[in-house]
Amino acid sequence: MKFDTPATTNPIDQLKIIGHATNRIDGPLKTTGRATYAYEWHDAGARPAYGYVVGSAIAKGRITSIDLSRAKAAPGVIAIVSAENAGKLGKGKYNTAKLLGGPEIDHYHQAVAVVVADTFEQARAAAQLVRVDYSAEKGSFDLSATRDGAAKPPGEGDEKAETAVGDFAGAFAAAPVQLDATYTTPDQSHAMMEPHASMAAWEGDKLTLWTSNQMIAWTTGDVAKTLGLPKENVRLVSPFIGGGFGGKLFLRSDAILAALGARAANRPVKVALQRPLIINNTTHRPATIQRIRIGATREGKISAIGHESWSGNLPEGSPETAVMQTRLLYAGENRMTALRLAMLDLPEGNSMRAPGEAPGMMALEIAMDEMAERLNLDPVEFRARNDTQVDPEHPDRPFSQRQLVECMRIGAERFGWSRRNAKPGGQRDGRWLVGMGMAAAFRNNLLMKSGARVRLDSSGTVTVETDMTDIGTGSYTIIAQTAAEMMGLPLDKVVVRLGDSSFPVSAGSGGQFGANNSTSGVYAACVKLREAVAQKLGFNSADVSFSDGQVSSGNQSVPLGQAAADSELVAEDSIEYGDLAKTHQQSTFGAHFVELGVDVATAEIRIRRMLAVCAAGRVLNPKTARSQVIGAMTMGVGAALMEELAVDKRTGFFVNHDLAGYEVPVHADIPHQETIFLDETDPMSSPMKAKGIGELGLCGVAAALANAVYNATGIRVRDYPITLDKLLHHMPDA
């Protein structure tokens, strides 16, 4: 189905099921332990063996020798696979580093071998007996030290490395009010609960992988390329995923080493990466250095805005696109953005929840706060004065919907922003310095082709099949709601099957594009099924209606299942968007507000309350959407106050490579959280009139916290995370 104009007659607009707070249909499976995650499959026929991955002990250099003799002789060992006996491996489209290293080593903890044994404990014990000798080389591990040598990365379209409109340098120099500041964000880990895990089984030259992966079609293709198989010989199964945040977008070493181990052992093999390898062997959010320059008139209108960002990655890697939101968020006639990429020998940097905008907003929204103070303007008012209804770099391209100012105004009223003391350090509550902060929220809305298959049986049950995944976001439920709305059924008459490469290709889960696109694909398939039902019943498809399990046309009404009385009806289709992305800019908007206290003696930060206001098209399920937003807000607290992968700049690895050393928020860190969804539909976006929301709830949160810390203490921290040492020596005299 082509979608390039707003839908007119749209069954989704009935809103009998769509748009209502609905419990997750997969909830009972998860709360009773019946949802099968990647490491829990036992359906491969033979009893599985277990693989344990050996990671490189150096960050850069070569393996000079591997001694496997002691490991092979260990109890229970079946096979050991390394680069020496793995055979020729290709490289998938989405892999930056090789998934099995040797003899060259690209980064610390790169997989160099997998030991397969009868039990996990035997594999782990034998892996400790593998002796690897290396010739280490000097690597580059410090972004700040390589900043001057960073180069312009390749890129085009929305990902191009540089943009320029007007005369930024001249306008900035002439601006009566100026800001020129540098901000840094650290390397961060996805830190999802479920590890990267896979089970592989071969049947002849056909491979089945039960794995934890967000993008089934991408990864199926990359498995085939890596192992030199026809794509049709690879099946991926991933119905439940215990968190991903982008860390499971791409093929990783657990899947490939499970496949290689299973082939060598001639039986199914399970591999789960141990936590240190998850952090050092898989992807992470790269650190950034960001310089922001803003020039404005004394009345608070931006005349020049420039944003430059430096990040690092392995050769063939991409930069953290931290300037993307600055190209779109605020007006200003003279503009400049630039990305620079340094070559680092650290583990691969790649997508983590809201790549680009999340770290970019961490800097931009502090800069906007600093500028508002220089102008003696309220932070909300300054942002509102620089609103724009068109893409500032392409004024002929309007936003399909943009309610940023409404989000800020509503949030300010609900939060009691008018009670904020604008003077930093001006409010006390006993030993606590109290401050409020806010930031705009922004994340683009991506349109991607997405398909589904729907089946109707004689009982009137509709089964939806799509390779869409559910990473804890509620995909099962909103897809069921969509099919139920389209076919006039209650939810209990819809069955949803996800995460299997034998199903039609969907958008997948990532970039907050999953919900809108995957449900639109289900919509398209249901449109075809409605047509097939009408034809089978001899009804006029132009006036047929589907409601309460009945199909009606004129004065005739029959049960839906009657259309499939003789045989199952099957329909399949995809949603495609034509040139919509070229004619209209599609983005989501919001505002974050935070109140916190800072202990005047210890500089301990305690959040008191948080509010997010979101404008993201039609909210398909307010209950699951709220869960996504408060989870994102919590992640923003971590980014602001504690999350940081500490780099050993001598030897090139992340020191705190477990969940004991890598700190994330716990329940005690998170106070009352409130979310408000604006009543908005965007007919330009899709037939669902929805957008994404899971990453909008993150973008801007950290800056709102940083701004609140400044309001409480008068201390402006531009280097995340905001830890005690950055405040303690500058605190007001107790």
The model's pLDDT over 269-308, given as tens digits with 9 standing for 90+, comes to 999 999 999 999 999 999 999 999 999 999 999 999 999 9
The per-residue pLDDT for 215 is: 98
324 within 8 A of 273, measured Cβ to Cβ: no
Torsion of CA 322, 148, 369, 441, to 10 degrees: 0
Exposed/middle/buried for residue 449 (C-beta within 10 Å: 0-12, 13-18, 19+): middle
Cα-flanking dihedrals φ and ψ of residue 637, to 5°? -60, -45
The arithmetic mean of pLDDT across residues 313-329, rounded, is: 97
Domains 11-35+448-576 and 399-446+583-730 share a fold: yes
Residue with tokens 């001249």: 170
pLDDT tens digits for range 483-501: 999 999 999 999 999 999 9
Confidence of residue 153 (pLDDT cuts 50, 70, 90): very high
Averaged pLDDT of the chain: 96
In this predicted structure, the answer to whether residue 525 has a pLDDT above a threshold of 70 is: yes
454 Cβ neighbours under 8 A, 6+ residues apart: 462, 463, 464, 465, 483, 487, 522, 525, 526, 528, 529, 570, 571, 572
CA–CA separation, 106 and 95 (whole Å): 12
Residue with tokens 């209606």: 545
The per-residue pLDDT for 454 is: 99
- The overall pTM is greater than 0.95: yes
Q: Determine if residue 283 is left, alpha or beta; phi over 0 gives left, psi from -120 to 50 gives alpha, anything else beta.
A: beta
Confidence of residue 651 (pLDDT cuts 50, 70, 90): very high
Structure tokens at 690: 């929805």
Neighbours of 174 (CB within 10 A): 13
Cα-flanking dihedrals φ and ψ of residue 386, to 5°? -115, 25
Structure tokens at 70: 């002691």
260 within 8 A of 80, measured Cβ to Cβ: no
CA–CA separation, 542 and 540 (whole Å): 5
pLDDT tens digits for range 421-452: 999 999 999 999 999 999 999 999 999 999 99
The per-residue pLDDT for 732 is: 85
Counting Cα atoms < 13 Å in the Cβ hemisphere of 731 gives: 21
Q: Determine the CATH number of domain 399-446+583-730.
A: 3.30.365.10
Specify whether 695 is catalytic: yes
The per-residue pLDDT for 667 is: 95
In this predicted structure, the answer to whether residue 43 has a pLDDT above a threshold of 90 is: no
In this predicted structure, the answer to whether residue 731 has a pLDDT above a threshold of 70 is: yes
In this predicted structure, the answer to whether residue 8 has a pLDDT above a threshold of 70 is: no
The per-residue pLDDT for 4 is: 65
CA 674 to chain centre: 22
In this predicted structure, the answer to whether residue 559 has a pLDDT above a threshold of 60 is: yes
Of the candidates 208, 242, 372, 407, the residue with the CA atom closest to the CA atom of residue 298: 372
pLDDT tens digits for range 381-390: 999 999 999 9
Neighbours of 119 (CB within 10 A): 12
Instruction: Return the bridge partners of 562, or none.
Output: none
Instruction: Return the bridge partners of 611, or none.
Output: 593, 674
In this predicted structure, the answer to whether residue 156 has a pLDDT above a threshold of 80 is: no
Among 576, 644, 680, 695, the active-site one is: 695
CATH 3.90.1170.50 correct for 42-138+210-266: yes
The per-residue pLDDT for 9 is: 79
The per-residue pLDDT for 3 is: 82
Of the candidates 482, 489, 540, 538, the residue with the CA atom closest to the CA atom of residue 515: 482
439 within 8 A of 364, measured Cβ to Cβ: no
pLDDT tens digits for range 86-123: 999 999 998 888 999 999 999 999 999 999 999 999 99
Residue with tokens 């199964």: 237
In this predicted structure, the answer to whether residue 328 has a pLDDT above a threshold of 80 is: yes
* Euclidean distance between the first and the last CA atom of the chain, given in angstroms as a whole number: 66
In this predicted structure, the answer to whether residue 507 has a pLDDT above a threshold of 90 is: yes
pLDDT tens digits for range 573-596: 999 999 888 899 999 999 999 999
SS3 291: strand
Neighbours of 436 (CB within 10 A): 24
Topology of 11-35+448-576 in CATH?
Aldehyde Oxidoreductase; domain 4 (3.30.365)
In this predicted structure, the answer to whether residue 644 has a pLDDT above a threshold of 90 is: yes
Q: How wide is the angle at C-alpha 709 spanned by C-alphas 706 and 714, nearest 5°? A: 115
Confidence of residue 348 (pLDDT cuts 50, 70, 90): very high
CA–CA separation, 82 and 591 (whole Å): 50
413 within 8 A of 324, measured Cβ to Cβ: no
The arithmetic mean of pLDDT across residues 327-353, rounded, is: 98
472 within 8 A of 525, measured Cβ to Cβ: no
Three-state SS annotation for 300-343: CCEEEEEEEEEEEECCCCCCCCCCHHHHCCCCCCEEEEEEEEEE
CA–CA separation, 704 and 383 (whole Å): 13
CA–CA separation, 326 and 305 (whole Å): 8
Boundaries of every domain in the chain: 11-35+448-576, 42-138+210-266, 399-446+583-730
Q: Which is it for strands 334-343 and 390-391: parallel, antiparallel or unpaired?
A: unpaired
In this predicted structure, the answer to whether residue 608 has a pLDDT above a threshold of 60 is: yes
Q: Going edge to edge, which strands form the sheet with 605-615?
A: 428-429, 432-444, 587-599, 605-615, 672-677
What percentage of residues in the chain have a pLDDT greater than 70? 99
